[in-house]
Chains A and B, each alone.
Chain A
Amino acid sequence: MLDILFDFIKILFYTLRDVFPILSLILFFQIVVLKQPIPHLKRVILGGVFVVLGLSFFIMGLEKALFPIGEIMASQLADPAFLGNVDGEVLHWSNYYWIYIFAAAIGFATTIAEPSLIAVAIKAEEVSAGTISPLGLRITVAIGVAFALALGTFRIVTGIPLYLFIMGGYIIVIIQTIVGPKDLIALAYDSGGVTTSTVTVPLVTALGLELSGVVPGRNPAVDGFGLIAFASLFPIISVLGYSQFMVLKKRMSNLK
């Protein structure tokens, strides 16, 4: 119990250091540059206390829950005993199918419920004057992230270099940018960031690192990262693809 308290105080101290720049930035600009008092000072101070306390609790929970969940799921689903491999022979990548399914399920479930994606989807409907339906966009992005994480875990199992996939993804994005509808480009690029939320990032990172540690022949330092990169690239492709598809569909129905 005392240990937890001691840990918490240490984390609290680090958090104060982390939050200090943003607090001083806002104070400096408000008072020195704009020469205005802080509105609702009491509320703002209370808010600052909440931010520091909340972040400290989150970091405690990170180490007790989010990292362990990712690690435990990866080690269970890639465990030779679970895979029915008792003689210790080297497994084919297709033997690890449960890990791909798990990664896809986590990707789909967290993305479809992601609040910032819902906000982006509503904005996309406004920008496109109703051509894009918010629910359709959310499902498209969620499938994109599910596919991204499944492909990402496949890459970790096989050890194919990450940059090949990312370069391939970039080339697709560049082509889509050139031929696709222009008014959704900025929104699509931004949507890459919104799918990787604060809760998902630690869990998925731990999943990838543990997986690369369990699969024989893989090295966590080289192969373990990259899942977040996949999950940020695929939404761009799916948003651009979805908007292209909707524009095409509209054109077809106009032709009739």
Chain B
Amino acid sequence: MLKNHFLLLIKKLKVSLLDLMPIIVVVVFFQTVVIQQPFPQIGEVLIGVLFVVFGLMLFIEGLEMGLFPIGEALAYALAKKGSLFWLLIFAFALGFSTTIAEPALLAIAKEAALISSDAGLISQDPDTLNNYALGLRLSVAFSVGIAIVIGVLRILKGWPLYYLIIGGYILVMLMTAIAPKEIIGLAYDAGGVTTSTITVPLVTALGVGLANVIKGRSPLLDGFGLIAFASLLPMIFVMAYGLFWFK
């Protein structure tokens, strides 16, 4: 049993190494053929690469062992139970809590805090940096929570997806017009960041579960689309966050 588990871990390690392979190949090619110089700080970077591979492997393995099966079963059970109140509470909490733990968002929030303090937009002390990064992540997480609630309501009511998306685009354009220009790039990026490792599987399970339970909904047509909202609303909320910090 233990040995099997170990073998499985090795296999997983290979899979996450494969994820990094394309990056390694491209970087090595450019370094040797185009730049023709030794790569700076090669030792430290290699150790870091090992950390990334090992960390991602553990992280995904852990998710698959516990959170994913329970989360998916839970999403399905709640969809079937038919209590709108609990379903919406769950939808919000799921969007919020998965986003707060999203590694890619952590990365971008950190960089954003550093860049803003270098540019003199926020003060340099570590507390302000941490607060700014945390506030950024909280507003993204909050917006993803709201987005999942809207997405669930859409599936329940059968609203066409593209009306909501186009409405969302118009809101993004309006916010862009009034937001400080230092936040716009970050806000647009935040939209793409929210939807990676943890959020997608759990949210898709909720959507597909709902569409399966409700009569006249196709899981393939209606189950998707939750993620689309989860990338639109963060843009709007982060621009609002910028209005709050930079003005």
Please give the residue numbers on chain A whose beta carbons come within 8 Å of chain B beta carbons, in ascending order. 18-19, 21-26, 29-30, 33-34, 38-39, 43-69, 72-73, 76-77, 82, 98, 102, 105-106, 109-110, 112-113, 115-116, 123, 126-127, 161-163, 166-167, 170, 173-174, 177-178, 183, 185-187, 189-190, 192-194, 196-203, 205-206, 209, 219-229, 231-232
Query: Which chain A positions have C-beta within 8 A of B51?
Result: 57-58, 60-61, 64-65
Task: Tell whether, in the assembled complex, residue A29 and residue B90 are in contact, meaning their CB atoms are under 8 Å apart.
Answer: yes
Task: Tell whether, in the assembled complex, residue B193 and residue A196 are in contact, meaning their CB atoms are under 8 Å apart.
Answer: yes
Task: Tell whether, in the assembled complex, residue A51 and residue B192 are in contact, meaning their CB atoms are under 8 Å apart.
Answer: no
Task: Tell whether, in the assembled complex, residue B60 and residue A59 are in contact, meaning their CB atoms are under 8 Å apart.
Answer: no
Query: Which chain A positions have C-beta within 8 A of B29?
Result: 105
A69–B49 alpha-carbon span in the complex (Å): 10
Task: Tell whether, in the assembled complex, residue B52 and residue A190 are in contact, meaning their CB atoms are under 8 Å apart.
Answer: no
Partner of A61, one of B50, B115, B198, B225: B50
Q: Is the interface of A mostly helix, strand, loop or mixed?
A: helix
Query: Which chain B positions have C-beta within 8 A of A116?
Result: 200
Question: Who on chain A is nearest to B61 by CB?
Answer: A50
A39–B60 alpha-carbon span in the complex (Å): 19
Given A64-B47, A68-B41, A232-B191, A22 and B222 touching (CB < 8 A)? no
A113–B185 alpha-carbon span in the complex (Å): 27
Task: Tell whether, in the assembled complex, residue B44 and residue A64 are in contact, meaning their CB atoms are under 8 Å apart.
Answer: yes
Question: Who on chain A is nearest to B20 by CB?
Answer: A199
Task: Tell whether, in the assembled complex, residue B231 and residue A193 are in contact, meaning their CB atoms are under 8 Å apart.
Answer: yes
Query: Which chain B positions have C-beta within 8 A of A24?
Result: 97
Task: Tell whether, in the assembled complex, residue B48 and residue A47 are in contact, meaning their CB atoms are under 8 Å apart.
Answer: no
Task: Tell whether, in the assembled complex, residue A51 and residue B63 are in contact, meaning their CB atoms are under 8 Å apart.
Answer: yes
Task: Tell whether, in the assembled complex, residue B230 and residue A193 are in contact, meaning their CB atoms are under 8 Å apart.
Answer: yes
Partner of B192, one of A33, A192, A219, A220: A192
Query: Which chain A positions have C-beta within 8 A of B49?
Result: 61, 65
A68–B43 alpha-carbon span in the complex (Å): 12
Partner of B66, one of A45, A67, A173: A45
Task: Tell whether, in the assembled complex, residue B169 and residue A170 are in contact, meaning their CB atoms are under 8 Å apart.
Answer: yes
A24–B40 alpha-carbon span in the complex (Å): 43
A88–B18 alpha-carbon span in the complex (Å): 41
Interface bin, chain B = 35 or more
A39–B196 alpha-carbon span in the complex (Å): 26
Question: Who on chain A is nearest to B5 by CB?
Answer: A46
Query: Which chain B positions have C-beta within 8 A of A166?
Result: 172, 188
What 8 A-B pairs are tightest by C-beta distance, nearest first? A65-B48, A50-B62, A64-B48, A57-B55, A225-B185, A47-B66, A61-B51, A54-B58
Task: Tell whether, in the assembled complex, residue A60 and residue B23 are in contact, meaning their CB atoms are under 8 Å apart.
Answer: no
* Minimum CB–CB distance for A219 against chain B, Å: 7
A177–B193 alpha-carbon span in the complex (Å): 23
Task: Tell whether, in the assembled complex, residue A232 and residue B64 are in contact, meaning their CB atoms are under 8 Å apart.
Answer: no
For the complex, is B14 an interface residue (Cβ under 8 Å from A)? no
For the complex, is B2 an interface residue (Cβ under 8 Å from A)? no
Task: Tell whether, in the assembled complex, residue A44 and residue B65 are in contact, meaning their CB atoms are under 8 Å apart.
Answer: yes
Task: Tell whether, in the assembled complex, residue A53 and residue B192 are in contact, meaning their CB atoms are under 8 Å apart.
Answer: no
Query: Which chain A positions have C-beta within 8 A of B165?
Result: 177, 189
Task: Tell whether, in the assembled complex, residue A193 and residue B227 are in contact, meaning their CB atoms are under 8 Å apart.
Answer: yes
Which of A24, A44, A68, A205 lies at the interface centre, i.e. has the most chain B CB atoms within 10 A of its CB?
A205
Partner of B115, one of A47, A185, A221: A221
Task: Tell whether, in the assembled complex, residue B44 and residue A68 are in contact, meaning their CB atoms are under 8 Å apart.
Answer: yes
Task: Tell whether, in the assembled complex, residue A53 and residue B58 are in contact, meaning their CB atoms are under 8 Å apart.
Answer: yes
User: Would you give 19 A-B contacts (Cβ < 8 Å), ordered by A?
Assistant: A46-B66, A54-B59, A54-B62, A55-B103, A73-B30, A102-B26, A113-B21, A163-B176, A186-B228, A189-B227, A190-B226, A193-B228, A196-B192, A201-B193, A221-B115, A222-B181, A225-B186, A227-B189, A232-B191
For the complex, is B116 an interface residue (Cβ under 8 Å from A)? yes
Task: Tell whether, in the assembled complex, residue A194 and residue B195 are in contact, meaning their CB atoms are under 8 Å apart.
Answer: yes
* Minimum CB–CB distance for B109 against chain A, Å: 10
* Minimum CB–CB distance for A199 against chain B, Å: 6
Task: Tell whether, in the assembled complex, residue B19 and residue A62 are in contact, meaning their CB atoms are under 8 Å apart.
Answer: no
Task: Tell whether, in the assembled complex, residue B48 and residue A63 are in contact, meaning their CB atoms are under 8 Å apart.
Answer: yes
Task: Tell whether, in the assembled complex, residue A225 and residue B188 are in contact, meaning their CB atoms are under 8 Å apart.
Answer: yes
